[in-house]
Structure 1
Amino acid sequence: MAAVAATLFDTFKSSARRGLGAPLVVLVALAMMMLPLPPFVLDLLFTFNIALSLVILLAVVYVLRPLDFAAFPTVVLMGTLLRLALNVASTRVVLMHGHGGPGAAGKVIEAFGEFVIGGNFAVGLVVFAILTIINFVVVTKGATRVSEVTARFTLDAMPGKQMAIDADLNAGMLTQEQARERRQEVREEADFYGAMDGASKFVRGDATAGILILFINIVGGFAVGVLQHGLSVGDALHNYTLLTIGDGLVAQVPALMLSIATAVIVTRVSRAQDMGKQVVGQVFGQPKALAVAGVVLGVMGVVPGMPNVAFLLLGAACVGGAWLLAKRRAAPAEEAPAEAAAVAAAPGEPAELGWDDVTAVDVIGLEVGYRLIPLVDRNQGGELMGRIKAVRKKLSQELGFLVPAVHIRDNLDLSPNGYRIALLGVPVGEAEVFTDRLLAINPGRVHGTLVGIPTKDPAFGLEAVWIESGAREQAQSLGYTIVDPSTVVATHLSQILQTHAHELLGHEEVQQLLDRLAQSAPKLVEDLVPKRLGLGAVVKVLQNLLAERVPIRNLRTIVESLAEHAAQSQDPGALTAQVRVALGRQIVQEIAGLGAELPVFTLAPELEQILLQSLAGGGPAGAAVEPRLAERLQQNVADAARRQEMAGEPAVLLTAPQLRPWLARFTCHAAPGLHVLAYNEVPDNRRVRLVATLGR
């Protein structure tokens, strides 16, 4: 028997590797329905069915995440089809050979009819009814309801999850490959729970079919035995009822195991541990609950007439388990005072002050309140350090220089949930986060409200709500973008570093960039610094580019342009304009992508002429511009930029090269998303499309 089963298993496994496993199961099931099977083959198939259901149940118990068993809906369908085919095959054998006695349909059915229920068909009916009620009313009905609700909430939450992935990608928390994997996982999760909603209907229909098949077999067998084989009413009722109940129990046991597997997998929560460890850790991991249960059992154990020994033994076991758990949790806490003892040193003679007592200013500083310390403490599961490192890596790759390290310290002067970001010792941003909540950000197209603490996203100023962790699915289904506290702080830091990137670049960083370039182009660097241009001028040009949101990744082109024009001018502003012309292709591509057209709006010729005359008379500060004209110009530029953003296009103001630096500074606060380009910065292969002309 074992050799035959092993041969069948090897055959099925090799067929599955060739992609023939599922079609083979379907063909075998159809053959079982159509062809008569001998009792020995039925015994093999019934045994295989029980073993398969047990393997599926154990696989569900030990799987870490539901998506790790993504083929489960198909497995449920195949298992249900196999069991129904066995019911048809066994029904044929029972009706054809049932007059020969309980062993006519094979040893498995006979064992379930004789041994399991003791040969008493009344007991068999009761046992079958109880198993059916458990399967149909409790397990299957509950699993079906959970599948429906989970599928609905999973599909409703898909847009929110996708936006959360996009937010993490934009903040530098994820790479493109990781974001692609997350999106694929979201799609697979939706497909899985949608398929589970349908698969649970298979299980429910299988339970209903088992009940109908039982009554059909009893009535049909009784009629065949009395009318065709001339059995007495008692003999026919005894033989066919025992065979039918044995057949029903043989099918009902694997059906119950498959129903339990379905219920388990739809009620699982994704954790990095199997279900056994998860249940034991959460149910029996509370010392207080075990202690109270032990006391209650002990009190019941001393009541006269109760089974005292059993209650007292279980009560003592619960109390003992609670004591062991409490002792195990208290052990790490007893080791902590050793560190505190090392700090408490006896105060000695105060030492003389030195330069070491002068605190250096951190380039980038992050101060946190005491309740936010778990976010930055790796020993407490804090993720903020890793997020900040990812932000620095992403910005360094985008901007073209190494972003300095972030120095993190606690500050008791801040509110417990507050944090503050400082650049060169000057605070540039602060906000509050709640470590026990999630931030639900309104991207502008939500369809509902949430209960929580109203606030604004510190990075972009969007309306947001701090919600409880349990309301995550509801918020995602309403269209909110959900982020955790660490992501909120990291995104805020990323936005501030991008805005103030020019302040992070100093002489030391520029020298490092030039040294790296000298490894591949030594003559170029040697001719520029210090022969033609001083290091300070190069630093100022690179800072000007970063201030105007132009990355300095293409350092070779920048240095070549400086070397070419350093003989004509040493002014950093004029050199910056020449470098921008050399980087025109890069600048325009980052604004408008790879499209052939560049949508722009320009100034009316008479307005442009007035501004040129004002600059010539009042200098680049623009002091000679009439205040009312300046106010109208700012308003018109802001309105045009807003219209472009609403149309989903970049806002680009195209102007004369002489006006570009002044207009860029003049409009930076009125229209933060505006890009100001000079005519000579647009590459020849780009077609300019005029959107509007701004007059006085």
Structure 2
Amino acid sequence: MAENGVLGNRSDLIVAVSAVLIVLMLIIPLPTVLLDLLMALNLVLNLVILLIVLYTRKATDFSVFPTLLLVSTVFGLGLNVSSTRLILSQGMKFNGRMVRAFSTFVIGSSGTEGIVIGFVIFIIIIAVQAFVITKGATRVAEVAARFTLDAMPTKNMAIEAEYNSGAITEDEARSRKKDVQREADFYGAMDGASKFVSGNVKIGIFITVMNIIAGLIFGMIFRGEPFGKAIGTYASLTIGDGLLSQLPALFVSVATGLIVTRSVSDDSFGTDVKKQFSRDARVYYIAAATLAVLALLPGFPWYVLIPLAGAFVYFGWKLGQAESASFKAKLDTAEKKEKEKTGEAPADISPVVPLDPLSLELGYGLIPLVDKDKGAELLERVTRIRRESALDLGLVVPRIRIIDNMRLEPSEYCFKIKGVEVAHGRIRMGWYLGINPGGVTEELPGEKTVDPTFGLPAIWIAEENRERAERAGYTVVDPPSIIATHLTEIIKRHASEILGRQEVQSIVDAIRKDYSAVVDEVMKICSLGEIQKVLQYLLREQVSIRNMVVILETLADYRPITKDTTVLAEKVRQSLSRQICLQYADDSHTLHVLTVEPSLTQKIVDARIDTVNGPIAALEPVIQRGWIRSLSRSVAAVQQAGYLPIILCPEEARILIKSSTEREIPDLVVLSVPEIANEIKVESLGEIKLEE
């Protein structure tokens, strides 16, 4: 981590220093050795940019390209200005190796002929850049930027629709929206950055003309050289300098054209060429036949065309073999599937095995608990638990798969939700678990342990000590009851995870039989995913979803106003106010609650931050610690008095208080004032204040 930070700081420093030096090059004269080094570096850097573009899968993966265009353009212009200064000031004494190499070796001839050839090559490069590459790339960048910006709202709406329908997760939706924003930013930047390239071409022509005119003035007037010698010296050096500056500019111009014209590709340029040029072998046979016909005509170089035609035939033949092999593989796969359907051959084991919504895995020592020959008491308990969960939470728990697992210890068991373990425990067959609720009057002999469900201190008790343990104040449970109690608690704690879209669809279908008008209205404005999220919010706080008609009617009322599922869940809670209050009120319909000091409540509300998973209270660490300490002290005092800790707060603070305490006190009940039904009385047990 530290190493990455150091490297990151160094790279930032290098970039900053380089940017300053590039600007200084326009002012400070450079020695020829340094000029040669920087010119070679400019050439290879622009070549590297072109290669990176060729190997980039998506244009937005090379998001620094618009900025690099500016940097490389200014760098090239700085070198051009520096070389111009040295050429004009030194004349024949100028010994820049890179410029002289381009003025002689690249041109290929000396004297007047070489100068003319150099001018022609220079003019052609300028024309190609100005009228072909740069103009086309600029136009494509403008169109891509306009259409990308116009398509942003549609793309975001499509992503939102996929997310609401449950086709993608929240993380996938967030990532896709970020990609859409990056794409719009990139093409918007490219629309402006492409002007750097066209400007570079124009200034290159201007610098070249100025070099020749100024060179003739310096040579003939200040140095007294004849016209022939002056034009030979300065024209030659100017052409070399112009070619050396325009070749890197040509690289970056081509890179610009490539990156803005490959917006529809998801692979590198080479991969796309390979895929799209190898789709049909017949193309290469026709091309080979055309070359062969040309070779037979008089005057055409048959010794070039015939080998080239042979190469095309060979390539077409190899491509045809690959197509045949691919077709045969597809045919074999289709035949195999057909045989599996008709039962002619056994089907292969599917590589993707569906996971059970809820499963109980037992070590082999616990198998007697589900053995029908021995009573299978646990199976009856599981069936009863599923029925009770449907009545208490309104959640129809899917069938619980009970299997043996040889990888567990003989006395171990574990619960899994969709293949992931959520809890486990250990049981001693033939023994009873004595749980110490806090009022034990006598210590009994036995193996000390912990209750797997609630984490209370417990002890394994032999059967002969069972009555003695009950008299001593222990809560004594047998092995099936241990697992059944643990399963009940798992279902309560993880009900929101168990409730999937398929379960929601089943609930909606069942309600439709008697309340079709309600269901039809809701399904027109709510997606299945939105209904699922609201129900999960309720189950997460142990609110029963059995009264689905009220829940759906509330969604029908408020969904046209907001699509925020946390707000919808709060409105549903208020519609279920009587049910929620009776869940926690005593026999006299009285709620014993704790309130929060108004100033502290306001701090929590002010710290609200909306995230993709709902609003949270981002309190400062000191305030958060003080809030939790004060709350924990008040909760402990309420529990000692024999009451269930309940917080009563304003509507806007309820979800924030719950989220800020969920980690430290997950079972804390938090109610808002609108959730208190009219017939419920409220008794305050105290006010929570922030510690000084």
TM-score for the superposition, normalised by structure 2 = 0.53
SS for the counterpart of 2:312 is helix
Letter in 2 for 1:509: P
The reply to whether residue 258 of structure 1 matches residue 252 of structure 2 is yes
- Residue of structure 2 in register with 1:141 after alignment: 135
Alignment of structure 1 residues 275-674 onto 2, 5 Å? 275-334=269-328, 336=331, 340=335, 509=398, 518-521=485-488, 593-594=566-567
Q: Deviations over 1:504-531 (max 9, x none)?
A: x998837789999853547999xxxxxx
| Cα distance, 1:91 vs structure 2 | 0.7
SS for the counterpart of 2:299 is coil
Letter in 2 for 1:94: I
Aligned counterparts of 2:491 and 2:138: Cα–Cα separation in 1: 72
Classify 1:52/1:555 alpha carbon distance in 2 versus 1 (closer, same or farther; 3 Å): closer
Aligned counterparts of 2:489 and 2:568: Cα–Cα separation in 1: 36
- Residue of structure 1 in register with 2:381 after alignment: none
Aligned counterparts of 1:317 and 1:241: Cα–Cα separation in 2: 45
The reply to whether residue 107 of structure 1 matches residue 74 of structure 2 is no
Aligned counterparts of 2:339 and 2:47: Cα–Cα separation in 1: 61
Query: 210-219 vs 328-337, which deviates more?
Result: 328-337
Letter in 2 for 1:20: L
Aligned counterparts of 2:153 and 2:106: Cα–Cα separation in 1: 53
- Residue of structure 2 in register with 1:188 after alignment: 182
Match of 1:56 among 12, 36, 49: 49
Letter in 2 for 1:256: L
Q: Is the CA contact 2:555–2:568 (under 8 Å) kept in the aligned structure 1?
A: no
Match of 1:685 among 652, 656, 674: 674
| Cα distance, 1:339 vs structure 2 | 7.1
| Cα distance, 1:95 vs structure 2 | 0.5
Aligned counterparts of 1:121 and 1:31: Cα–Cα separation in 2: 32
Match of 1:169 among 163, 171, 188: 163
| Cα distance, 1:45 vs structure 2 | 0.7
- Residue of structure 2 in register with 1:90 after alignment: 83
- Residue of structure 2 in register with 1:233 after alignment: 227
| Cα distance, 1:312 vs structure 2 | 1.3
Aligned counterparts of 1:524 and 1:556: Cα–Cα separation in 2: 11
Match of 1:244 among 215, 238, 243: 238
Q: Is the CA contact 2:554–2:571 (under 8 Å) kept in the aligned structure 1?
A: no
Aligned counterparts of 1:231 and 1:524: Cα–Cα separation in 2: 99
Classify 1:99/1:524 alpha carbon distance in 2 versus 1 (closer, same or farther; 3 Å): closer
| Cα distance, 1:333 vs structure 2 | 3.0
Aligned counterparts of 2:91 and 2:236: Cα–Cα separation in 1: 10
Aligned counterparts of 1:510 and 1:589: Cα–Cα separation in 2: 34
- Residue of structure 2 in register with 1:130 after alignment: 124
Query: 256-265 vs 334-343, which deviates more?
Result: 334-343
SS for the counterpart of 1:147 is helix
Alignment of structure 1 residues 191-210 onto 2, 5 Å? 191-210=185-204
- Residue of structure 2 in register with 1:677 after alignment: none
Q: Is the CA contact 2:278–2:319 (under 8 Å) kept in the aligned structure 1?
A: no
| Cα distance, 1:683 vs structure 2 | 7.3
Aligned counterparts of 1:556 and 1:215: Cα–Cα separation in 2: 77
Gaps of at least 5 residues in structure 2 are: 1-5, 344-349, 360-393, 402-416, 418-480, 493-505, 520-530, 576-670, 678-692
The reply to whether residue 178 of structure 1 matches residue 172 of structure 2 is yes
Aligned counterparts of 1:589 and 1:576: Cα–Cα separation in 2: 17
Q: Is the CA contact 2:56–2:62 (under 8 Å) kept in the aligned structure 1?
A: yes
Aligned counterparts of 1:22 and 1:295: Cα–Cα separation in 2: 55
Q: Is the CA contact 1:43–1:106 (under 8 Å) kept in the aligned structure 2?
A: yes
| Cα distance, 1:208 vs structure 2 | 0.7
SS for the counterpart of 1:305 is coil
Classify 1:340/1:156 alpha carbon distance in 2 versus 1 (closer, same or farther; 3 Å): closer
- Residue of structure 2 in register with 1:35 after alignment: 28
Aligned counterparts of 2:491 and 2:80: Cα–Cα separation in 1: 85
Q: Deviations over 1:331-389 (max 9, x none)?
A: 233353697499789x99xxxxxxxxxxxxxxxxxxxxxxxxxxxxx99xxxxx99xx9
Query: 585-594 vs 243-252, which deviates more?
Result: 585-594
Match of 1:26 among 2, 15, 19: 19
Supply the RMSD in Å over aligned alpha carbons.
Answer: 4.9
Letter in 2 for 1:241: A
Letter in 2 for 1:55: V
Classify 1:511/1:288 alpha carbon distance in 2 versus 1 (closer, same or farther; 3 Å): closer
Aligned counterparts of 2:186 and 2:132: Cα–Cα separation in 1: 23
Q: Is the CA contact 2:211–2:238 (under 8 Å) kept in the aligned structure 1?
A: yes
Gaps of at least 5 residues in structure 1 are: 1-12, 349-377, 380-384, 403-504, 526-538, 563-574, 603-681, 689-696
| Cα distance, 1:49 vs structure 2 | 0.4
Aligned counterparts of 2:508 and 2:49: Cα–Cα separation in 1: 67
Aligned counterparts of 1:545 and 1:555: Cα–Cα separation in 2: 22
Aligned counterparts of 1:61 and 1:156: Cα–Cα separation in 2: 27
- Residue of structure 2 in register with 1:450 after alignment: none
Q: Is the CA contact 1:93–1:105 (under 8 Å) kept in the aligned structure 2?
A: no
Aligned counterparts of 1:522 and 1:181: Cα–Cα separation in 2: 35
Aligned counterparts of 2:318 and 2:490: Cα–Cα separation in 1: 73
SS for the counterpart of 1:20 is helix
- Residue of structure 2 in register with 1:153 after alignment: 147
Letter in 1 for 2:210: I
State how many pairs are aligned.
421
Q: Is the CA contact 1:124–1:245 (under 8 Å) kept in the aligned structure 2?
A: yes
| Cα distance, 1:235 vs structure 2 | 0.6
Classify 1:517/1:32 alpha carbon distance in 2 versus 1 (closer, same or farther; 3 Å): farther
| Cα distance, 1:285 vs structure 2 | 3.6
Match of 1:116 among 87, 98, 106: 106
Q: Is the CA contact 1:66–1:270 (under 8 Å) kept in the aligned structure 2?
A: no
Aligned counterparts of 1:540 and 1:32: Cα–Cα separation in 2: 73
Q: Is the CA contact 1:90–1:105 (under 8 Å) kept in the aligned structure 2?
A: no
| Cα distance, 1:323 vs structure 2 | 1.9
TM-score for the superposition, normalised by structure 1 = 0.52
| Cα distance, 1:588 vs structure 2 | 9.7
Letter in 1 for 2:567: L
Letter in 2 for 1:273: D
